[in-house]
Structure 1
Amino acid sequence: MTFTPGELRAALACLATTALESLQIIAADRLAGQHYPHLDPAQSVLVLGVDGETSTGLVRQALLAVYPPDHPVTRISGPDRATCPLADLAAAGEDAASLLWIPAVSAPAAFTALLDVVAHLRAPDGCPWDRELTWARLRSSLLEESYELLTALDAEDPVKVAEELGDLLLQIAMQTQIASEEGLFRTPDVIARIVSKLIRRHPHVFGDEQVSDTAEVLANWEAIKRAERERNGEKRSPLSGVPAGLPALAQADAYLDRMSRVQAIDAPEMPSVALAALDATSPPTPEAVGDALFGLVAWARAHGIDTESALREANARYAAQVDQLQDDS
């Protein structure tokens, strides 16, 4: 659908009473083809060439990934205009081509807004405490925020999860801002690397690779990772890439998960899972306890149980029992 300069001028004139600090213009067919729209919600948007139920539905679905359902949308068809909540947006008519105007959101909601705030905090006129932050000083905060997110996930509290995800995003933004200031890399470099990695490791989505099930997806993923390590001259162990700093239970689970997807070599013999294997007649050795715990992780995996989560839940139950005993005393 093509709009003449005159039609665009008429549409903008229709919106002349609204202060437009900036305006993004995008064609409806391009917007409908994006799984997550490349739009900044802090700026107004003009969508061109919306016609028919299919086009309107796809545009509405794409916009709902960025804007709340009750965000106002104005449809402009010639001299006519009508405003409704985004969730209620419907086709104007089978043959009626129209434009959509979406005003900017009132609160900063784009990732760039967070980056701007963080850069300001680190600027000479920013916060003295934030300017003193380093990668080393942020290590403990990164761990703390990660575990707070896990706690919120365990509680299945969406409001708290959203809050903790924001705190984790702050950690990422601050880490990359520090790197940018030191000339190491920039936020676009970080995003470009992960986007490239995801596309490269999903040839069945972004390429011509054919897969029949999840097992093939995981096998391909490991094969691609091995090829990447070989090209980079990295160690070729199947366990390469499992962080050394993981909590022990999570690390054991990660090791076992890796080996379950490796077919080139045989996995080592598993330690006995039975805690009874520890000789009760003599003091246990750290090696025996470690083997028993590792075997327990393997046994739990075989039954679809994540030991790290299971132990956290057990810890929470124990803490609740202690609190109850305290209340009853």
Structure 2
Amino acid sequence: MSNNNAQLTVVGLGTGDEDQLTLGVWKKLQLASQSQSVLYLRTKDHPMVHMLDTNQIPYETFDENYMAHQSFEQVYESIAEALIQTAKQQAGEVIYAVPGHPMVAEYTVQLLKQRCPEEGISLTILGGESFLDQAFLRFGFDPIDGFQLLDATSLSRYTLNPHLHTVIGQVYDTYTASDLKISLMDMYPDDYRVVVGHSLGVTGQEQMFEVPLHELDHVKGYGNLSLVWVPKSEKDEDDYRTFGRLHEIVQILRSPEGCPWDREQTHASLRKNLIEEAYEVLETIDEDDPDHMCEELGDLLLQVMLHAQMEEEIGTFTVYDVIATLNEKLIRRHPHVFGENKAEDADEALVNWNAMKAEEKRKKGIDVAAQSALDGVPRELPGLMKALKLQKKAAAVGFDWTELEDVLKKVDEELAELRQAIADPSEDGAAEQLDELGDVLFSIVNVARFLKLDPEDAIAQTNRKFVARFSYIEDQLRLRGLSFEQTELLEMEKYWQEAKKVAKLKQG
């Protein structure tokens, strides 16, 4: 039979010291032995349970729910459901006791707050001493200095702020402590001092350990009443891994009190820097040098920060707007990841991407049908890269060769025309030669496309090969005390051929 006056009261058992249990909560607990009220405990694993036993207060626990489900979310949902059904059937009040304070790190209480109004159940929540009270007391810091409370089971490096005191709960066991250590080491130095507290405020059970971060999972005794305190940092270098600090540094550099060179820069003056830094990153990729790549990616990021800072100074946008725009675009253009669409391979993913780009243009009022098939290729791309993109766009609408052999014949044809232009002694000969040379290069890019090779990669590889062989010639001349002026071309060619053989030996 359903109870139209269903009542559910949640009380907090505090941190475990009976002297800290509130009088109101104690009176409510005593009702379980004096009336039709029933008492449920989320878990029997709490120091206050002995007081209930001593005073012969009857109770039931939900400890079996932890064994019946695979995740904490399922456990807590099953507890909330059981309480709601009991409250609807029970003639008297249902009392639900949780460790600490009901509104601090108690997911079941949040579920009850959401569902009780929907089920017509009157929900009352009585506070208790939170583990935070003992944390502030035992760890000895004032939360007004800056404080955050985090859950070890769902901690993200993006929530960490070294300028705040951080208390981390739900450190149930050594495995959780190990995962927590790894997350914290993304932000803090390995030897950063942290404090572990077990059963804070519980007489005879309290333990505290100060250890370097890398030993966090070496501490024994983790359980339901364990906390980790990461003190706020007073060192600037502990903030170096945060994006906010980078933004602040660039602001300072551009400020009146900052660097004269940085203050004078404009979008136009930094134009070449952006390109140069991008190419330096590419060089580290070719070198397969992660350390150098890390440094050069930072230099490239600095260019982005400087351009964004210039716009922030005149109020158009900030770097955080840049990030927000990028995040939104990435989610929107990947419906096969963040939406309902599917993509089995890279080609299908690219189809989704291009479809979303077209849709974005339509929403901006751009007539996609009226656009050139070649639109969207950046004007300032390097020549070979731009030629490849133009050819791919033309091929996408059917303007393309059908066979590689036809493309190779086109290369021969363009070479013949270049030879003819070279033989032309007229005043327009140079212009004609430039035109025909461009045609040869464009046809070579077509060959690369048919072979599914990147012409920029090909020329970069040849450049590296040329530098290595030429350096070999220089080394040989240096060993013999000779200069280029003292060496015949025939001898240089001999060293060139030697360099080719040496390279093959190293490869093989």
- The answer to whether 1:76 aligns with 2:197 is yes
Give the superposition deviation at 1:137.
0.6
Give the superposition deviation at 1:189.
0.9
Give the superposition deviation at 1:315.
1.0
SS in structure 2 opposite 1:244? Answer: coil
Q: CA RMSD in A?
A: 3.4
Which position in structure 2 is the counterpart of 1:229?
361
Which position in structure 1 is the counterpart of 2:455?
307
Which position in structure 2 is the counterpart of 1:16?
140
Letter in 1 for 2:466: Y
How do 1:134-213 residues align onto structure 2 when only pairs under 5 Å count? Answer: 134-213=266-345
1:73 and 1:86 in contact (8 A); partners too: no
- The answer to whether 1:254 aligns with 2:392 is no
Cα 1:28/1:322, change in 2 over 3 Å: same
TM-score, normalised relative to structure 1:
0.82
SS in structure 1 opposite 2:407? Answer: coil
Give the superposition deviation at 1:243.
1.2
Give the superposition deviation at 1:224.
0.4
Letter in 2 for 1:38: T
SS in structure 1 opposite 2:342? Answer: coil
Give the superposition deviation at 1:256.
4.6
Cα 1:283/1:46, change in 2 over 3 Å: farther
Letter in 2 for 1:244: R
TM-score, normalised relative to structure 2:
0.55
User: Paired residues, what number?
Assistant: 323
1:152 and 1:160 in contact (8 A); partners too: yes
2:190 and 2:212 in contact (8 A); partners too: no
* Separation in 2, partners of 1:92, 1:214: 48
Which position in structure 2 is the counterpart of 1:276?
412
Query: Of residues 167, 172, 179 in structure 2, which corresponds to 1:46?
Result: 167
How do 1:278-293 residues align onto structure 2 when only pairs under 5 Å count? Answer: 278-279=415-416, 282-283=420-421, 285-293=433-441
Letter in 2 for 1:251: K
Q: Which moved more, 1:226-235 or 1:182-191?
A: 226-235
Q: Which moved more, 1:58-67 or 1:300-309?
A: 58-67
SS in structure 2 opposite 1:37? Answer: helix
Deviations 1:215-241 (A, max 9, x none): 211101000001111222346444433
1:42 and 1:109 in contact (8 A); partners too: no
Deviations 1:174-209 (A, max 9, x none): 111100111221111111100100010111221222
Cα 1:133/1:208, change in 2 over 3 Å: same
- The answer to whether 1:100 aligns with 2:235 is no
* Separation in 1, partners of 2:442, 2:334: 32
1:273 and 1:294 in contact (8 A); partners too: no
Give the superposition deviation at 1:150.
1.1
Letter in 2 for 1:317: K
2:195 and 2:230 in contact (8 A); partners too: yes
- The answer to whether 1:324 aligns with 2:472 is yes
Query: Of residues 20, 25, 28 in structure 1, which corresponds to 2:149?
Result: 25
* Separation in 1, partners of 2:448, 2:245: 43
Q: Which moved more, 1:123-132 or 1:10-19?
A: 10-19
1:51 and 1:93 in contact (8 A); partners too: no
* Separation in 1, partners of 2:147, 2:442: 58
Instruction: Give 5+ residue unaligned stretches, structure 2.
Output: 1-103, 107-127, 200-206, 423-432, 478-508
* Separation in 2, partners of 1:257, 1:59: 48
Which position in structure 2 is the counterpart of 1:217?
349
Instruction: Give 5+ residue unaligned stretches, structure 1.
Output: none
- The answer to whether 1:125 aligns with 2:262 is no
Letter in 2 for 1:76: G
2:401 and 2:407 in contact (8 A); partners too: no
Deviations 1:243-302 (A, max 9, x none): 111101122333455567x5xx32444782454332175236545543443343343344
Give the superposition deviation at 1:140.
1.1
Larger radius of gyration: 2
Cα 1:314/1:77, change in 2 over 3 Å: farther
SS in structure 1 opposite 2:420? Answer: coil
Which position in structure 1 is the counterpart of 2:94?
none
